[in-house]
Amino acid sequence: MRVDQQRQMKHYLMLSFSLPALVLNGNRIRDQILAELRAGVEAMTARGRPPGLAAVLAGRNPASEIYVRNKIKACESIGLYSEKITPPDTITTEEMLALVAELNAREEIDGILVQLPLPPQVDSKRVLLAVDPAKDVDGFHPMNVGLLVTQRPGLVACTASGILEILKRSNIPISGRRAVIIGRSDIVGKPVAFLLLHENATVTICHSRTAGLAAVAREADILVAAIGRPALVTREFIRPGATVIDVGMNRLETLTDVERIFASMPAKIEEFRQKGSVLVGDCHPADVAECAGAYTPVPGGVGPLTIAMLMANTVKAAKCRTGSSRSA
């Protein structure tokens, strides 16, 4: 049975009994994408050189260090060339601009990733604007944003394109459906809104000033939560049977919060006792599992796709730069 049929049936049967929601497993989809990319990378390597990614990690932000480490590991897993550049946290805007200019000019570097946040004295906007749009594998450059908005080929922000991969590869229908996105950031909310619009969804974007947020969200067939507020999306936001994509990655560090949000999940409380913190998304985990027709878990939902799409963008950038996209 297709996912939309399952979901519809769940909606109709809601009053009599509830079917378990379909868990959209991001790790499985990431592995599929990486396996597909690996074959392309091997072919490109045999023809000349592997695609290359440079990751710039300025300063010492422990979360950024983990993100960059995982990105480099993913490069290695599919045979991409990667380089980690770690300027000190005293770096100036001018020095960062010089570093980016050097990477723009290097032939074997196809993708440049500037890990955010940059140290406070650095003008992040100027630095991101300096990245060659053809190497902008994060899809943050205004040139790539413009290409996305006008539905032309370009490099698209990784989390947003990862969300589309999850929906498409899970056969969730998009065309003609109502999509509500909570969050209007440049890196997630806005690009995912345009991608869904281009797939013919009817799209509503919500934010911190949206009146009657829960009622708007409840109209969604596809609800995307990209807010950064732990478990803000509760059962009254979710239309029974809706597909819920939880982008949020929030670390809980107090037992009170963990006990409140994970009251019905003793394993999470135990995990907190052992590790001192646990991750939670923007959706209430028990409510989403109960009300949604399909949903992405946290962790293991959207997160793995962000890295997979960074790899996909690097391969795409390399193909475009070497002109092999026509033959690939």
Q: Could you say which residues in the range 263-322 bind ligand NAP, by CB under 6 A?
A: 302-303, 306
Asked about 115 being catalytic, the answer comes back as yes
Of 71, 135, 190, 268, which is the active-site residue?
71
The answer to whether 305 and 26 are in contact (CB under 8 A) is yes
Instruction: Tell me the CB-side half-sphere exposure of residue 250, using CA atoms within 13 A.
Output: 22
Q: Which residue among 74, 160, 164, 188 contacts ligand NAP (CB under 6 A)?
A: 188
**Interface segment toward ligand NAP; rule CB under 6 A; list 104-112, 139-147, 225-233, 272-280:** 225-233
For residue 292, the minimal CB distance to ligand NAP (Å) is: 18
Is 71 one of the catalytic residues? Answer: yes
Residue 249 in the binding site for ligand NAP (CB under 6 A): yes
The pair of three-digit structure tokens given for residue 274, joined into one six-digit string: 């052992």
- The count of residues interacting with ligand NAP (CB under 6 A) is 26
Closest approach, Cβ 277 to ligand NAP, in A, equals 14
In this chain, which residue has its C-beta nearest to ligand NAP? 185
Select 91 or 250, whichever has its Cβ closest to ligand NAP.
250
**Contacting residues toward ligand NAP, per CB under 6 A:** 159, 182-185, 187-189, 206-210, 213, 226-229, 232, 247-250, 302-303, 306
Q: Could you give the residue numbers annotated as active site?
A: 71, 115, 138
